[in-house]
Amino acid sequence: MKLEFIKREVLKEKPADESKLGFGRIFSDYMLMMKYDEAKGGWYYAAIEPYENLSISPAALVFHYAQECFEGMKAYRTADGEVMMFRPWDNVHRMNISGERLCMAPIPEDFLLQSIYELIKVEKDWIPSSPGTSLYIRPTFIGIDPVIGVKAASQYLLYVILSPVGSYYASGLAPVSIYVENKYVRAVKGGTGYTKCGGNYAASLKAGEVAHERGYSQVLWLDGRENKYIDEVGAMNIMFKVNGEVITPELNGSILAGITRDSIIKLARSMGYKVTERRISMQEIADAAENGTLEEVWGTGTAAVVSPVGELIWEDKVIKVGDGGMGKLTLELYNKLTGIQYGREADEMGWTVKL
């Protein structure tokens, strides 16, 4: 398969004020489009095309049975104007892991990765350069057979769109307050919790609304069976520093194997910290807060990078983290990771690629 290029006649106006980018509201001139049809022998079309609305049947499987998964990664502008990406091969691979669970067609990972590089090169002028900004990359994979009936599709679209973004949180790096959900669940053993499928997020909206009504910005999910053990936050994995040790929920099939999570575990270990991946109960965290050993809590994710947590509310108990400010290790990890992503720090782990 060859990657085609379809030129756009008129380019869009780029955002003039990078302080007003927000998140995921502005899209660039081009997108990558790949098409699959079993009847045509598999993947048969790949092109960098003008960004525009899709035309697919209202009967398309994705609209009814949610055969869909997606990814999220970023391209960064370094101080000397170069373009970097961070572990994009891991996102492409994770998309295949999600797709496999949803019985979707296997993705040619290297072809997709190289095609994303080409798209970013074409759209490099859309990468903002102010501190904390980046170009968010959203690969999306959908089953589109125009047939009503629950089955795996035989036709797919895989497209990648680009959005220049500012910081994920309007409040910047200020500690967030988190609502521990104990009525609704996000994932159960044997379900799709470990995938990045749209259905997981649709099912999470209800709890998000309740949390917002109560003044909390994010939901912390507990396990779907006993409502006791910590899984993850809405769009982040979660880590705790208790008595000098970093602990984080193990990959148990219910949580997303975050690429930021893995990077932070490795960075913290390289800084000499003991990091343990294991089952953690909410009671254990409440006890640690009570006895003064809950030192820091932070979330990790591509969008928010490393996000300090100032307090958790669990069954009407408010759990304060440290002094409620940004923890020392949280800040160190944030600086170290963003340093690598923006090319300010040496990349000893081989995580970045310059385009």
Ligand X SMILES: Cc1ncc(COP(=O)(O)O)c(C=O)c1O
Structure tokens at 130: 């102010």
What mask, x for binding ligand X by CB under 6 A, covers residues 258 to 297? xxxx------------------------------------
Q: Which is nearer to ligand X, 155 or 237 (CB)?
A: 237
Give the separation between CA 14 and CA 213, rounded to whole angstroms: 35
Minimum CB separation from ligand X for residue 304, in Å? 8
Decide if residue 341 touches ligand X (CB under 6 A).
Answer: no
3-class secondary structure, 121: helix
Compute how many other C-beta atoms are within 10 angstroms of the C-beta atom of residue 299. 27
Residue count (the chain)? 355
Decide if residue 237 touches ligand X (CB under 6 A).
Answer: yes
Q: Contact with ligand X (CB under 6 A): which of 128, 143, 224, 301?
A: 301
What mask, x for binding ligand X by CB under 6 A, covers residues 242 to 261? --------------x-xxxx
Minimum CB separation from ligand X for residue 59, in Å? 29
The residue type of 70 is: F
User: Nearest 5 degrees, angle CA 195-CA 298-CA 263?
Assistant: 60
Minimum CB separation from ligand X for residue 322, in Å? 23
Q: Contact with ligand X (CB under 6 A): which of 68, 232, 295, 296?
A: 232
Give the separation between CA 189 and CA 330, rounded to whole angstroms: 30
Minimum CB separation from ligand X for residue 283, in Å? 23
What mask, x for binding ligand X by CB under 6 A, covers residues 34 to 73? --------------------------------------x-
Phi, psi for residue 208 in degrees, rounded to 5: -60, -40
Minimum CB separation from ligand X for residue 325, in Å? 24
Decide if residue 236 touches ligand X (CB under 6 A).
Answer: yes
Provide DSSP, 40-100. GTEEEEEEEEE-------TT-HHHHH--EEE--EEEEE-TTS-EEEESHHHHHHHHHHHHH
Minimum CB separation from ligand X for residue 49, in Å? 25
Element (H, E) at 237: strand 237-242
Q: Which is nearer to ligand X, 119 or 337 (CB)?
A: 337
Minimum CB separation from ligand X for residue 62, in Å? 19
Q: Which is nearer to ligand X, 235 or 319 (CB)?
A: 235
Give the separation between CA 127 and CA 74, rounded to whole angstroms: 10
Minimum CB separation from ligand X for residue 58, in Å? 28
Q: Which residues pair with 45 in a beta bridge?
A: 35
Give the separation between CA 306 and CA 175, rounded to whole angstroms: 10
| Segment interacting with ligand X, rule: CB under 6 A, options 95-103, 135-143, 229-237, 307-315 | 229-237
Decide if residue 302 touches ligand X (CB under 6 A).
Answer: yes
Decide if residue 74 touches ligand X (CB under 6 A).
Answer: no
Which of 124, 56, 91, 99 is CA-nearest to residue 260?
Answer: 91
Which of 243, 236, 224 is CA-nearest to residue 264?
Answer: 236
Number of residues binding to ligand X, judged by CB under 6 A: 13
Q: Which residues bind ligand X (CB under 6 A)?
A: 72, 232, 235-237, 256, 258-261, 300-302
